[in-house]
Structures are given as C-alpha cells and as structure tokens.
Amino acid sequence: MSVSDLAPFLEKPGLIDAYSPLANRYDEMRTASGEVRPQWRYLLDALRTLGAAAIAERGSKAARLIRDNGITYNLNGDPQGMSRPWQLDLLPILIHSDEWAELERGLIQRAELFNLILRDLYGERELLHTGLLPAELIDGHANYLLPCHGIEIFAGRPLVQYATDLTRMPNGQWRVIGDRTQSPMGAGYALENRVVLSRVLPSLFRDSHVHRLAGFFRSMRRTLAQLAPRRTDHARVVMLTPGPANEAYFEHAYLANYLGYTLVQGGDLSVRDGALWLRTLGRLERIDAVLRQVNDLWCDPLELREDSFLGVPGLLQATRAGNLVLANALGSGILEHPALPAFLPHICEHLLGEALLLPDVPTWWCGEPAALAQVLRDFDNLIIKPIPTLAARSGVQIPRPLSAYVSATLEPSTRAALLKAIQANPSGYVAQAQILPSTAPALIGQRLEPRPNVLRTFLVAEEDSYAVMPGGLGRIALTQDTALVSGQLGGLGKDVWVLASEPERQESLLVTTDSQSPAVVQESAVSSRVADNLFWIGRYAERAEGLVRLLRITIFKFAERADYPLSKASSSCLRSLLEALTNQTQSFPGFVGAGAEGLLCQPIPELLSLMTDPQRSGGLPRTLEALGQAAYSVRERLSADTWRIISDIEGRLANLTQNPPSQLSQALDELDPLVTSLVAFSGLTQENMTHNEGWHFLETGRRLERGTALACLLHSTLVPIAGEPDENMLIEAVLGITDSLITYRRRYHAGTRVGALLDLVLQDEGNPRALAYQLAMLDRLISDLPRGDLAIGRTAAEKLVLKSLTEIRLTEIDQLIQPHKHSNRRVTLAKMLSDLSNELAAISDAITAQYFRHEEQPHSLLRRAGATAP
C-alpha cells in the first residue's frame, strides 16, 4: 500500500464526508447518521493540515522503518517466506478512555472467569459434575491434556496471559469472536506498531494523549518473576519459541529482547533431576519460568505429542515437581474450545455470581438437541466449526477440512457433506452466528475506505487481578465483503490508540525491574544452537565479502582486456582470477573442470551466474541467503542497527536475483554498494556487539573463513609462475582483493614482487587481511572459548592453530617463491598453502565437534535422594 496515493484524496475539499460506512455495520470513524465521531476529529484535521507531501513522506518513512527493523510476519505459502514485511496501515483505531474503561472491566472479568475454569477442569472438575459443562465436550477434546490433571499451579494463576478478539455489533456493543489462551500472539506487533507510528506521527501521537504501553510489559515481567518457584535469587526466565519457521518469529525475538529474556528453542533445554536447565557451552543454567510461544501439545514429546521436535522431554514432569512455572500452564488450550462460549453465561453466574459483561457471538453446540435443531434450521446463516478429534469419529469424510466453514459460501456438494457429518455426529460440531465485523477507515489505493476490523486485546495476570494493555492489535481485511479477519488471510495491521482526556505521563519503553531485584545479574551464556548460528554468520558474512571483492577485481581485469573472446594466449592474470573464483566458491566444474576452456574464452555467462543465480551452489545469492537465515535464527542477539544492515543486504540480494544485470558493468553497480553493506555489518559486529561468548564464535567463524579464502586465493594466483607483466598484474589484483594496496606501496619501493606480497598478506601479523593475522586472532579467540570443567591442557582446536601459526612464523619466504626445478610452479608454496587449508578445515571441525554436536548422556528426569543439581 502506498500512502502517497492518498495525497490527491486529501487535497480535495470535503472528501472526509465522502467516506461512506458500509450498511448495517458499526463504523469506528462515522456514525450511522454520517457524523464524524468526536475522538476522530483532531486526527482528520491534522491530516488535512499536514498536506499531501507530508503524508506521503510519513508513509514512506513507516515502510522504511518496517523494512529496516526487519519486522516480518510470514503467511503460509507466501513467496517472500520469512522475509515478508509486516503490513501496517498509517491510520490508527481511536477509542476514548471512558469507553475503554468499560471494555476493560469486561476483559478483566473474562480473564478471571477463564482462570477459574482452567483451575477447575484440571482440579476438582466441579463444572463437569454439576453439568454446567458436558463431560463429553471436555474429555474428548484434543486440547484437554489428562497428564496435566492435578498439577498444582503456583499462586493459582495457570492463565498468566490472555488475549481475546473483539468486534462490534451494529449498535456498537463489543462481542468476543475468539479467545487465545495457549500462547497468545500479537502483543509484540502491537508494540512495534506503536513504535513506528509514534516516530512517523510524533506530534499527532503526543497531542492525542495516547495511553502508553510500557506499563503493561512491566507488569508482565514482574508477574513472571513473582511466579518463579525459586525466590532466593534472581529468577531466570526464558522465552520458548518454535523457531524461525514460525510465522511470528519476529515477535518472539522482539519481545525476548524487550523483556530481557533469553530466547530458546526446545533443543536448548534439558530436564534433569526434576528441573529445567538451559544447556550452554560452559555450564547448565537453572530455569525458573518459561514464557512459551509453543502450543500445548508440542511442548513435551515424552507425555504429550511424541513426534514433536519443538518441546522438551520431561517439561511436564518439571512442572509437576513444582520446580518450574509455565506461562501459560500446559492444558490451557482447552479454553479455546469453540463450544465453550455456549456455556459461559451460566458458568459466569455460577463461579463469579454476576452476569457476563462481555458476551460472545451467539454460539450453539450441536450436541444439544435444541441447539442442533436451530443449527439445521438456520444453517446458511452460520459458521460451522468442527471440534478436534470428535468430528473424525463420525467416519464421514468432509471435503476440504477446515477449522471453520462459512455455510453461505459452500459449494452444494460440500454443504451436503457437512450437513451429513453434523447429523451423524452432532457433538462434534459447533455453530456460530455469522456477523458482519465492524469497520475502520483504511488507506486503500487513492481512497479512505471502510474495511472489516478485528481488535485483539491482551491481558497479563497481576497479584490479585489482571492488567490490560491499553489498546491492542488492530487487524483489517483488504476487501469489504469478507466475513473472516485473520492474520494468515493477509490484511493490514493497525495501531490502537486509547485517548486520555489529559496528557499521559511520559514512560520509557525500557522495562524497569523491581527495587528488590539485583542491579546486575549474570548474563546468560549462549547455547550450542546460538553459538553455531553466530559462528556461521561470521563465516557467511566473510565468505560473501571475499567473493564480492574477488568478483569486482575480476570484472575490472576483464574490462581491461582488448582481446575478446579470450584465447589461450590471453593474460594468465585473468585466467588465474577466474580459476580462483571457481576454487573459492567450490562451484565446479566452472573455470577449472570439464569444459573450462570454453568458459575461459567466454566467461561472462558464468560470472553473471555466480552473481545472480539463486540456485547456483556456492554463488553469491546462496551465500547471502545463508547469511540471512543464520542471522534470522538469532535475531534477538543482533542490534537494531545491525539488523538494518542485514535488511539492506537482503534488499540488494533481491535486486540481484529478481532484476539480474545482463552486463558486467551493471553488475558492478550492484556489487559496489553490497561490499559497503558487508563491511558495515563487519564493523557493527566488531564495535557494537558485546565481546562475550557469542561474539567470540562469530569472530572465530569470520577469521576461519578469511584465512581459508586467502589460502585459496594465493594458491590459485601465486603458485603458477607467469611472465613478469602478468605476475605484476596478479600481484596488483591480489592486493586489491585483500585491500592492502596502499600499505604495499608505502612499505615496498622495489616494484611489485611476489616475496613482498607474501610478506604482507601471508606473514604480517599486523595486517588484518594477512593469513598470519587470522591465525593469531584464532589463537586468542579459541583460547577464550569455554573449556568445561574437565578440559586439561590445550584443546584440539588450540593445538591446530598453534601448529599453523608456528609454520607461518618459521617459514622462509625466499624458499616459498622459488620455482620447482622440474615445473613452472612454486611447489613449496603450494604445499604450505594446501597444508594450511587442511589445517583450517580441521580447526573448524574441531570447534564443531567440541561445541556444536552433543551426544546426550542418559540422565534421570527426577531428583534422586541425596543427588545434587548439576
């Protein structure tokens, strides 16, 4: 969506009056009689005052912030994959604080009610015994977890987080259309929406007196710390994510950073002696609480879903033993039961002694005869939802099995099959009234138009109640006729502003801790998975930078040639550089294998393929893609500035692959800014990243990759002996690739000599582009890596580094440059560089074996008598 398209719309007089709400729906901006609602007047006046150019500029800035910050939300089957940007509409939804206060009371009541229901269903089950809930409805549902029954919940708060989706009826009353109780998604996107809009519309945001969000997240952090079973020291809380493939992984990483929690995956954790531990490289860290983003069934393959790779074996046992708190408690998914709203009013009267303040959309469970009769009578005006597991028992196959069916849109055959299935197994289905969602204004093309709107609100438990996020996550559909508004169906996000009558107290978005908490706590060490990804971030970033530098110099040398196509008599300099490209990228056969002579004569197609073909193994696109994937997997470890550089690299990758250059001169226009971005990435990781364990692995990967590439480059260019003019050109090319030309000219005054080149780029430990420098750095980096309690003496990697560094220090350059008496090659140099390449590969293997591969030893899930914690 281009906000600049709105410019001609706003310039015309009276066009706000042209905004026409949809019939029979509540509209957030205009009343049924056509008046603009009071809370919207200031916003609309401000938009007119801004003018077309300013609005267009703010729209571009919002899109740029979303892109630079890497805000993504992945849709199933979307070709953009994990890089799909979050879609945000520039207009917020406005709600006056008086109206919000009334809504807030209903939300808190609902959260309290759901918490009591959850405690009862996994405790005394009074609701089932008294018939307020049919036992068949609960016990046969996929989300009712028998292993969770009877687990004592600390502080009686199994429902720590709660979210509900709301829309309005035509009379303006709020109705609930869905509850989220397992791992509610969206709070991070709501926060990011607020950050973006407050930056692109700062004065409008300030003058509207919008309620702030920071207090809600402080409540979340405080609650999790208080729920942790160990209160003797600082509670260790982690956030459990399914991983980068999840559609909301950006939110998981963003919230983990914002709240100060370590983001973990199931493989990072282990249950030992009845407690949960984070497996780091040097030690085990005891975990007290888990803020989980993994749904119930996938959390524990030992007792729940055995094919899950997302959870932790024994997680349920650690909770059962009272050593761990999960937010939310396992089994909370039963509260998302689609039939539960049909029974909530009576349950609320029974448990709270008051009427339900915030009702659901009318719902009928077909297992009740009267409800079934009404559903069959009014079938074409309903939404039908199969109940997991119960629907399958009927034996009737329904075409296109979905989570919900809009009856009015079904094909006749599907409609008939669905009716047959309901009649065969009524208790397996739920029906809800099909209502038309309320609408909100959105910037669509060149018009301000109404679009179906759903508001997701968020609550978190406090000591004696629940805190409500003042606002939430708005979502609108792109078309007016949709009956369902869902993130996975596309659409736009919206910020939600709750407007106060007076200025809000300025609050920092930084989360503060309680006064009782220690001022400084030990930083969590990295897990094996994180260390592995950081290691390969360093390798891929360096590999990409080295490849771009080699490509640029090769293209420069090619442009200098007057003889094209190239012949065997052509410059050995260019041939050596082309062979170096194949050797460095491992893209065989290329310029060295079968058919090499033909490619050497006509190198342009192969060069362009290495630069632009996303399917080419070893090519630049595959390397940059691997860098992005590794970075995305540990994005919570990277700063906002670093992520902006990664987003810029991804944008340049898209240009190379989607609009591939047809000429080498055009390719240079892409390579020049790309190398600048890669250097910026290197500088940020060096200067802005804390030099902790994670940085050590990233830098180790970088130094290994640079050393390997240097050995390969020197082997391809200096081992064959060429004539003096070609050798001088080769030396100049190598100096350009290694960014050492200026130093060479200042230090050596006897012309271009192979010995001087080797002194600078092989043996000089003060040159960051020299092989000796990489090994000297590796010697320091690897010695600082965690060694474990049982490590004695030097590790295998340390021994290999010391051996390689000693070989370079002791070598005589005069011997390296001498040609072999029976061949026109520098055999001694070739052997040394081959040995160094093999040793660098062995160093990488040794680091991988020590830190990235784990063979689990058998261990008990329960604490043995007299046993001590690891």
**HEC readout, 240-309:** ECCCCCCCCHHHHHHHHHHHCCEEECHHHEEEECCEEEEEECCCEEEECEEEECCCHHHCCCCCCCCCCC
Q: What is the pLDDT of residue 565?
A: 65
How far apart CA 833 and CA 711 sit, in angstroms, is 6
Mean pLDDT along residues 563-568: 60
How far apart CA 275 and CA 318 sit, in angstroms, is 5
Is the pLDDT reported for residue 860 higher than 70? no
Average pLDDT, the chain: 87
- Pair 249, 632: CB distance under 8 Å: yes
Confidence class of residue 863 from pLDDT cuts 50, 70 and 90? very low
Backbone angles phi, psi at 305, to 5 degrees: -95, 110
Q: What is the pLDDT of residue 55?
A: 78
Q: Which of the two residues, 783 and 402, has the higher pLDDT score? A: 783
- Residue 333 is classified by DSSP as G
Is the pLDDT reported for residue 515 higher than 60? no
β-pairing, 289-292 with 325-327?
parallel
Nearest in space to 332 (alpha carbons), one of 346, 349, 319, 347: 319
Is the pLDDT reported for residue 375 higher than 50? yes
Is the pLDDT reported for residue 858 higher than 80? no
Mean pLDDT along residues 596-624: 92
β-pairing, 93-96 with 492-499?
parallel
Mean pLDDT along residues 361-390: 91
Q: Which of the two residues, 844 and 393, has the higher pLDDT score? A: 844
Mean pLDDT along residues 719-730: 87
Mean pLDDT along residues 747-769: 90
In this prediction the pTM is 0.88
How far apart CA 516 and CA 359 sit, in angstroms, is 40
Question: Rounded to the nearest 5 degrees, what angle is found at the Cα of 851, between the Cα atoms of 846 and 852?
Answer: 95
Confidence class of residue 394 from pLDDT cuts 50, 70 and 90? very low
Q: Which of the two residues, 638 and 829, has the higher pLDDT score? A: 829
Backbone angles phi, psi at 684, to 5 degrees: -65, -40
How far apart CA 151 and CA 602 sit, in angstroms, is 72
β-pairing, 466-468 with 405-406?
unpaired
- Pair 788, 282: CB distance under 8 Å: yes
Buried b / exposed e over 12-27, threshold 16 CB at 10 Å, is: eeeebeebebbeebbb
Q: Which of the two residues, 525 and 377, has the higher pLDDT score? A: 377
- Among the residues of 122-248, which ranges form H helices? 126-129, 135-139, 187-200, 202-207, 214-227
How far apart CA 826 and CA 553 sit, in angstroms, is 24
Is the pLDDT reported for residue 422 higher than 50? yes
Mean pLDDT along residues 820-833: 92
Is the pLDDT reported for residue 156 higher than 90? no
CATH code 3.30.1490.270 region(s) in the chain = 362-433
How far apart CA 302 and CA 321 sit, in angstroms, is 15
Nearest in space to 238 (alpha carbons), one of 192, 303, 285, 180: 285
- In terms of Cβ atoms closer than 10 Å to its own Cβ (0-12, 13-18, 19+), residue 245 is exposed
Q: What is the pLDDT of residue 760?
A: 96
Q: What is the pLDDT of residue 738?
A: 94
3-class DSSP state for residue 237? strand
Is the pLDDT reported for residue 866 higher than 70? no
Which of the residue ranges 64-73, 369-378, 603-612 would you say has the lowest mean pLDDT?
Answer: 64-73
How far apart CA 789 and CA 810 sit, in angstroms, is 34
Q: What is the pLDDT of residue 656?
A: 92
Q: Which of the two residues, 156 and 457, has the higher pLDDT score? A: 457
Mean pLDDT along residues 379-398: 68
Is the pLDDT reported for residue 390 higher than 60? no
Q: What is the pLDDT of residue 665?
A: 85
Mean pLDDT along residues 541-570: 81
Mean pLDDT along residues 105-113: 97
The two most distant CA atoms of the chain are separated, in Å, by: 101
Backbone angles phi, psi at 373, to 5 degrees: -60, -40
Mean pLDDT along residues 788-797: 76
- Pair 501, 99: CB distance under 8 Å: no
Residue 354 burial (CB count, 10 A):
10
Is the pLDDT reported for residue 273 higher than 50? yes
Place of tokens 């409609």: 415
72, β-bridge pairs: 85
Confidence class of residue 3 from pLDDT cuts 50, 70 and 90? very low
Q: Which CATH class is domain 362-433?
A: alpha beta
Mean pLDDT along residues 294-299: 94
Angle, in degrees to the nearest 10, between helices 827-847 and 771-784: 20
Place of tokens 């410019």: 7
Report residue 125 as tokens.
């089950």
Is the pLDDT reported for residue 414 higher than 70? yes
Amino acid (1-letter code) at residue 144: Y
Nearest in space to 209 (alpha carbons), one of 508, 511, 506, 510: 506
The proportion of the chain whose per-residue pLDDT surpasses 70, expressed as a percent, equals 87
Buried b / exposed e over 794-815, threshold 16 CB at 10 Å, is: ebebbebbbebbeebeebebee
Q: What is the pLDDT of residue 569?
A: 47
